[in-house]
Structure 1
Amino acid sequence: MGEIAEALLNLGGAAHRDQVIARLEENRRQDSADLDLRARAVAVFDAHSRSDAGYGGVQPLFRRPFGPGAYRWALTAEAEAFLRTGGRQRRHG
């Protein structure tokens, strides 16, 4: 999940699924071959993009900006803001 979020952040917050998976593969080239990476990445993305993905009120991290079935992945606005600020909360007013 963290690797997907980092890849999306580095790709501007949204990218085609294949670009995200290619970035994950690049990061793992030093490790042994990982034949199940694509399937695991898709499963993790799906698990953390559902509206019921939150545990204890935590909101989903990922979304499909072009709707269900689309291959474009993105961080939610909240997740992107959190990651870009390093977790610092913005004050309103």
Structure 2
Amino acid sequence: MPSGISERIDLILLIFGVVALASIWAVGVLIDRWLRELLLASIFLFLVAVLILGFGGADATAAIVAVVAWGLAWGAWRHLSRPPRPKLPGKPPMWRNP
């Protein structure tokens, strides 16, 4: 990486992982009320990360900001992209019983 952060890739991956875990927690708390907004924010954050890396990736600060934005988007995406399942009363379907 031209930004000079390749010597500390372990720290960059740690930052990415912590931010991704934080976004998973935040999505879990907010998903019932803000699904559409969270989905759009995740797409926007990913777009911001790509643009920062594309145009300002040579700067270490810009690269770290991009990693944080990417971590927020990536952690949230797995849970936001799943289709919602209705909560139906009663017994689960037969194929789910042990």
Instruction: State the TM-score, normalized to the length of structure 2.
Output: 0.30
Instruction: State the TM-score, normalized to the length of structure 1.
Output: 0.31
Q: Greater strand percent: which structure?
A: 1
